[in-house]
Amino acid sequence: MLTNTVRRVGLSVAVAAALTSVAACGGSDDGGTSKGSGKTESHGNSVVKVDPIAALVAVQKKTGQAHSARIEGDTSMGSTMSMKQSGVMDWSDGITGSMKITYTGGTMGDAMKKLGSDGTMEARYFKDGYAADMGETLAQQTGGKRWINYSYDDLEKMAGASGAALKDQMQNSTPEQGVKSLLASGDVKKVGQEDVRGVSTTHYSGTVDVAELTAKNSNLDADDLAAFKKQLADAGITTETVDVWVDENDLLVKKTERGEMKTGELNSTVYYSDYGTKVSVERPPAAQTIDFSELLKEQGATAGAAS
């Protein structure tokens, strides 16, 4: 039970980062090659981008250069899990940051409750992996070690066929990934002007093919990509609708992703604010940390001794 829950937590922590600071799917880095006129119109001293492609290219560039932001959002993945997350992320040199994650439902929430957790945990992200605070329940079984350290190699093994793709995203993607996805989809349109939490924004929307865009934006070999596409098909995932809201400074303010899975709907809503905020993340104390691979060995040894 503990091993399975630890594995699920490791995956959900990665998914939380993928949906908040990167995206659930891949996109093209070459936004400038997307079709579009790039037409602009002058109004007094300001320049208004008429073509959505030209507008989103500017958003991709400006958001990418901002390097850090405060992030808040909620995610539901069918019957698997629903969660809320908030924290800060820096993408100036890989993905680093910290996130408070609260599981509010689904099988993941039930598993956390069975471990004696209230459903809230902290996750810290580093260039080579991430760490999750599992609380006192884990500490009681590991000699005081409440933090589990997951390397990206662990992530690849845990996630099966999609592991290589998720590992690639976590290491190489940045928060403007949703914008890149829209640029690469060829299906982007301007919806209109809307206020988001008191901020005047422009709303853009489009539909992306998950497998196709992951292939365009990843370093996966043919075997990994084929396995990933099969896993997506088995899960019933084909396309996602991605919406972004951007402010007058060409910064991403809000992003939503919606799609269908065999276990239900995928819904993710993320808000971005305080661009340029300072992000400082410390490694958990070594005395309170155990590597995921080491925990599996210990759990296996314990199970063997008990049989």
pLDDT, tens digit, 9 for 90 and up, residues 132-176: 998 887 788 888 999 999 988 887 777 666 666 677 767 666 667
Q: In what order do the strands lie in the sheet containing 147-151? A: 189-196, 199-209, 239-246, 252-261, 264-273, 68-77, 81-90, 96-105, 120-126, 129-133, 147-151, 289-291
Alpha carbon distance 277, 158 (integer Å): 32
User: Is this structure's pTM higher than 0.75?
Assistant: yes
CATH architecture entry for 2-306: Clam (2.50)
Res 47 pLDDT > 50: no
Are the beta carbons of 229 and 205 closer than 8 angstroms?
no
Helices marked H in the chain — which ranges?
A: 2-20, 52-66, 106-114, 136-141, 152-158, 163-172, 177-185, 210-217, 222-235, 292-306
User: Residue 1: what pLDDT?
Assistant: 54
Report helix, strand or coil for 172. helix
- What distance in Å separates the CA atoms of residue 89 and residue 190, rounded to the nearest whole number? 28
Pair 131, 283: CB distance under 8 Å: yes
Q: Do 148 and 14 touch, CB atoms closer than 8 A? A: no
Rounded CA separation 199/183 (Å): 24
**DSSP for residue 197:** T
The whole-number pLDDT of residue 43 equals 36
| pLDDT tens digits, one per residue of 238-285 | 677 889 999 999 999 999 988 877 767 888 899 999 999 999 999 999
Closest CA to 76 of 115, 118, 104: 104
Which is more confidently placed, 112 or 204? 204
Cα–Cα distance for residue pair 232/162, rounded to 1 Å: 8
